Amino acid sequence: MTFIRGLHNLHSLKEKSVVTIGSFDGVHIGHQAIVQQVKQASEALQIPSVVMTFEPQPREFFSAERAPARLMRLRDKIDTLVSMGVDQVLCLQFNRQLRNLSAADFVDQVLVRGLGVKHLIVGDDFHFGCDRRGDFAMLAEQGKHYGFDVSDTATVEIDGRRVSSSLVRECVEQADFVRAAQLLGRPFSISGVVGYGQQLGRELGFPTANVQLNRFSAPLSGVFAVLVNIAGTLYRGAANVGLRPTVGDLVKPILEVHLLDFKGDLYGQRIAVEFVHKIRDEQKFTGIEQLVATITQDVEMIRQWFLQAEPETTSIEN
């Protein structure tokens, strides 16, 4: 698999290709169906499959902190696409230059001259270009001119609702992790590198592994029972996602995880945190004593929840 970042690197693609375009936030089962379409066309034509995505996502460029919370980081998105057998992932920086590109120029410069598109797979509601002329009908017309085919993407529904990143986000926000896993085809998790914090958790008797989310908003907030993947081994934990209102030192949410019965140094390690059950919303307490008392109660509730949960955690480290 080849990861290509930026318009300036498109010269490295010398072959014709089968292409799809989108944000692919979460890479849910709807996205997975599109990728399978691309791979099937790629195999039939004996040319590479290409997934084109953007960083930042277009809605983040236009709306900044008002944009919907991301379901996954760029690295996780790429890793997931790689695991599905995509030949090439192209990530274009969504900046003023790309935003000002007309639909016709995007087709000519990016799809035709850059990617050598032979077959394009997009949704019939797909729009692009600063002039908003880029849609499915325009692409079909351009395909006749340049010699590439255009196909609609598969639609995937569960219980009568179209699977989408928005629907996954809705389930995660409501802590419906069973339904979120159905939509994603895997449990919902957040991953990242453990960094240094203020050591507040350690001072309070509950050391935490801190992962910066680097976003104005997170797809969920509160206190959760979690499973933490560390180098392939799962551990039970208690996690808080939010702004720590009692301390009041944050403007962007952070993920803090206290691993149950774990001793070791996690700084600099990459962990994946799977959310399995919500305990409560994040709260602002009157003082540190009340905060510590509530955390103690939270941890005990999480221990009890794992003890009562289905025996799917038998392989997890105790």
**Tens of pLDDT, residues 226-262:** 999 999 999 999 999 998 877 766 678 999 999 998 8
Band (314; pLDDT cuts 50, 70, 90):
very low
**Rounded to an integer, what is the distance from CA 11 to the centroid of its chain?**
28
- Overall average pLDDT of the 217-228 stretch: 96
d(CA 269, CA 165): 28
Give, in order, the Cα–Cα distances in Å from 156 to each of 33, 50, 161, 171, 275. Answer: 8, 21, 8, 17, 24
- Overall average pLDDT of the 182-192 stretch: 97
In 3D space, the residue among 50, 51, 73, 78 whose CA is nearest the CA of residue 60 turns out to be: 73
Containing 302, the helix (H) or strand (E) segment is: helix 288-308
Band (316; pLDDT cuts 50, 70, 90):
very low
Give me 7's structure tokens: 């318009």
Give me 50's structure tokens: 């290409």
pLDDT above 80 for 270: yes
Tell me if residue 247 falls in helix, strand or coil.
coil
Which of 117-121, 207-211, 260-264 has the least mean pLDDT? Answer: 260-264
Entry pTM:
0.91
The domains of the chain, with CATH numbers, are: 2-158 (3.40.50.620), 188-313 (2.40.30.30)
Environment class of 33 (CB within 10 Å of its CB; exposed 0-12, middle 13-18, buried 19+): middle
Q: Cis peptide leading into 56, omega within 30 of 0?
A: yes
pLDDT above 60 for 312: no
- State residue 101's pLDDT score: 93
- Overall average pLDDT of the 72-99 stretch: 94
**Rounded to an integer, what is the distance from CA 14 to the centroid of its chain?**
30
Q: Where are the beta strands (DSSP E) in 123-268?
A: 149-152, 157-158, 161-162, 189-193, 209-212, 222-230, 233-242, 254-259
Residue 261 backbone phi and psi in degrees, to 5? 55, 40
Pairing of strands 254-259, 209-212: antiparallel
H helices of 107-240, in order, are: 136-146, 165-173, 177-184, 200-203
By the 8 A CB rule, do 181 and 41 touch? no
